[in-house]
Amino acid sequence: ENRVYTLHLREGHRWSDGSPFTADDFKYCWEDVLNNEDLYRSGPPVELMSNGQLATFEVLDPLTVRYTFASPSPDFLPKIAAPLPLVLFMPGAYLRQFHAKYQTEEKLAEYIETFRVDDWQGLHQKMSRSNRPENPDLPTLEAWRPRTAPPSEQFIFERNPYFHRVDQAGNQLPYIDRIVLDVASSEIISAKTATGESDLQTTGVDFPDYTLLKQAEKVHDLRVSLWRRTQGSSVALLPNLNCGDPVWRTLFQDVRMRRAMSVAINRAELNKVIYFGLARESADTVLPESPLFKPEYASAWSQYDPDLANRMLDEIGLTERGGGNIRLLPDGRKAGIVVESSGESTLETDVLELIRDHMREVGIAIYTRVSQRDVFRSRALGGEVQMSVWVGLDNGIPTADMAPDQLAPTNSDQLQWPLWGSWYLSSGEAGEAPDMPEVVELVKHLEEWRQSTSTAVREEIWGKMLALRADQVFTIGTINGALQPIVRSARLRNIPEEALFGFIPTSYLGAYLPDTFFYDKA
C-alpha cells in the first residue's frame, strides 16, 4: 500500500573519493541534516510526511535501510527518481567536518571565514549542495565530478573513477572522460554553436535558430536534430496572484482578468511567426502524449477573441481609458503590466513582442524587464513582480502515478503564487496560506492524491485538478509541442535522432544516458 520502502545498496559501491557508500550515509542525512532544526527549520521535506506524520527510518544492516509511512505515500519513489531528487543520503564521512555536532567551534569559524558564509548552517549547505557545482571536493555518485570552483567562465567535469555502471561488455562508464562547460551570454550561444564551438548544445538555442544551425551543418562537423519539448507551454505568462500591489493582486485574483488576457492572445499568429506553424496552439496543460490529456483542457480560454476579452475587462470595471487607449485602473493609474523574465531565452523576447501588440488591442499595456534568475525569483517572493514569463507545466506528459504537485501551490519557485507555495513548502512557517477557494481546492485534491492507494483514484484526482486549472487559467499558455534543436558533433554517438526534451520527466538529456555517449574515432 505504498507505506514501506526497503532500499538495498550495492555491495562495493563507492563515492567518487573512494569512500564506501553505505547505510551510514542515509543515517547521517536523516539524523544530522533532515531532522536537524538548525539546518531544516521547517522540518523534513514534505515528501517524507504522510497525513501529517513523519516517516520512520531504520538501518537494517550496513547495506539496507527502510522508510515506513503511517499511511500511503505514493509520491516517495517518483521523488527519488526525479531530476532534482529527494535527498535521502549524503557523504557523511566528508560532510561531518562542516557540522556543528562533529566539528569544533574554532575549526568551524575558520571554515566560515574561508568559504565566506555567515554561519555553520550556511557552510554545511554550501559544501553539501550537490545540484550546484559549487564544491569540487564534494564526493558524488554521478558519472562526472566537478573540478572547478565558482565563479568561473569555464567549468570542467572529470569522470568519476568509481562510477558504478558498466556496459554489456563490462566496460566501466562513462565513455567520455572530460566535459568542458563554457559560460556565455544567452544572446551569443546560438551564434557560437553555429561556428562549431560546441560538441553538444541544447540550452541557449531555440527553434528560431534552426535555419542558422542547419546551414552550419554544411560548413562545420555538426548535426542538428529536432526533439519535441515536454512543457505544458513553451512560453507562458504567469500573473502573480500574490502581487504586493493590492490593486493588481485583486485584478489577477479575478478569473475574468486572467481569462480576458488569455483570449486576447492570437496564438495562431505566434505559431505561424515563431514556430512556422509546427507547434500546437494551446492553454498551459498536459500534452496529447500524456494519458491524462483531454482536448477541452487545451482549448479552455485559448481561442483568439478580443471582443470577449474587451467585454470581460469592462465587466471587471476597467471601462475608463487614458492615453494610447490604455485602460485605467480604479486608482487612476494606467493598466500597465511589467512582465519580468530571466533573459535566458531570445524566444521569450520574440513572443512577448507579439503579445504586447495583442494586449494593446484590448487596452492593456505590456512592458518587459530582464533580471538575473535568482534576483527575479527573490523579487517575486517579495511581491515585487506583477507578472513573469516562463515555461508552463514542467511535466506536460505525466501519468496518474506522478504527483500533481505542479498543479497546486507547493513551492516558492512557482511564480504565479510564490507566497502560497512557500507556505506549503514550509508547513505554514513562511509565506501566506491560500485564500482563494479554487486554490484551496487544488491543495485539497493534492493531499487526496498523496493518500490514494490505486492508479484509478489518482487518475480521477488528476482529472479534477486539470479541469479546475484549465477553467481558472492560473497560468496563461500560448504554444506547446514546440520543437527544440539539439546540436551535436557529427562524431558524437548514442544520441537519439528523435526524443522528448524537458526538465521533467526526461531531465533534459539525463533520460538518454549521457554516460553512454561516445566519440567515433573515425
pLDDT in tens, the chain (522 residues): 789 999 999 999 999 999 999 999 999 999 999 999 999 988 899 899 998 899 999 999 999 999 999 999 999 999 999 999 999 999 999 999 999 999 999 999 999 999 999 999 999 999 999 988 889 999 999 999 999 999 999 999 999 999 999 999 999 999 999 999 999 988 899 999 999 999 999 999 999 999 999 999 999 999 999 999 999 999 999 999 999 999 999 999 999 999 999 999 999 999 999 999 999 999 999 999 999 999 999 999 999 999 999 999 999 999 999 999 999 999 999 999 999 998 777 789 899 999 999 999 999 999 999 888 788 888 888 889 999 999 999 999 999 999 999 999 999 999 999 999 999 988 898 999 999 999 999 999 999 999 998 999 999 999 999 999 999 999 999 999 999 999 999 999 999 999 999 999 999 999 999 999 999 986
Last residue of a domain, one of 128, 148, 172: 128
Q: Quote the pLDDT of residue 521.
A: 83
User: What DSSP state is assigned to residue 328?
Assistant: B
Query: Cell digits for 484?
Result: 527544440
CA torsion sign for 469, 470, 476, 478 is positive
Please check whether residue 420 lies inside any domain of the structure: yes
Last residue of a domain, one of 97, 128, 159: 128
Please check whether residue 181 lies inside any domain of the structure: no
Q: Are residues 303 and 437 located together in one domain of the fold?
A: yes
CA 63 to chain centroid, in Å, comes to 32
Continuous segment of H or E residues that includes residue 343:
none
Please check whether residue 204 lies inside any domain of the structure: no
Q: Are residues 330 and 447 located together in one domain of the fold?
A: yes
Please check whether residue 122 lies inside any domain of the structure: yes
What are the two backbone dihedrals, phi and then psi, of residue 519, each rounded to the nearest 5 degrees?
A: -95, 130
Residue type, position 179, single letter = I
Which three-class secondary structure state does DSSP give residue 192? Answer: helix
Residue 441 CB contacts under 8 Å (≥ 6 apart), including other chains: 468
Number of structural domains the chain divides into: 2
Which three-class secondary structure state does DSSP give residue 316? Answer: helix
Please check whether residue 148 lies inside any domain of the structure: no
Rounded-to-10 torsion of CA 26, 32, 33, 39: 180
Please check whether residue 171 lies inside any domain of the structure: no
Q: Are residues 111 and 245 located together in one domain of the fold?
A: no
Last residue of a domain, one of 128, 154, 183: 128
DSSP secondary structure string, 149-170? Answer: PSS-SEEEEEE-TT---B-TTS
**What CATH number did the domain enclosing 41 receive?**
3.90.76
By C-alpha distance, which of 208, 227, 331 is closest to 275?
A: 208
Q: Return the number of other C-beta atoms located less than 10 Å from residue 487's C-beta.
A: 26
In the chain, how long is the greatest CA-to-CA distance?
74
Q: Where would I find the H helices in 453-519?
A: 455-472
What are the two backbone dihedrals, phi and then psi, of residue 198, each rounded to the nearest 5 degrees?
A: -120, 135
3-state helix, strand, coil in the chain (%, to 5): 35, 15, 50
Do the beta carbons of residue 3 and residue 68 sit within 8 Å? yes
CA 14 to chain centroid, in Å, comes to 29
Q: Are residues 244 and 98 located together in one domain of the fold?
A: no
Please check whether residue 490 lies inside any domain of the structure: no
Query: Cell digits for 252?
Result: 489577477
Q: Return the number of other C-beta atoms located less than 10 Å from residue 288's C-beta.
A: 15
- Residue numbers of the domain that contains 59: 4-128
Cα–Cα dist 229/391, whole Å: 10
pTM of the predicted protein model: 0.90
Place of cell 515585487: 384
Place of cell 507547434: 279
Please check whether residue 516 lies inside any domain of the structure: no
DSSP secondary structure string, 364-386? Answer: -EEEEEE--HHHHHHHHHTT--S
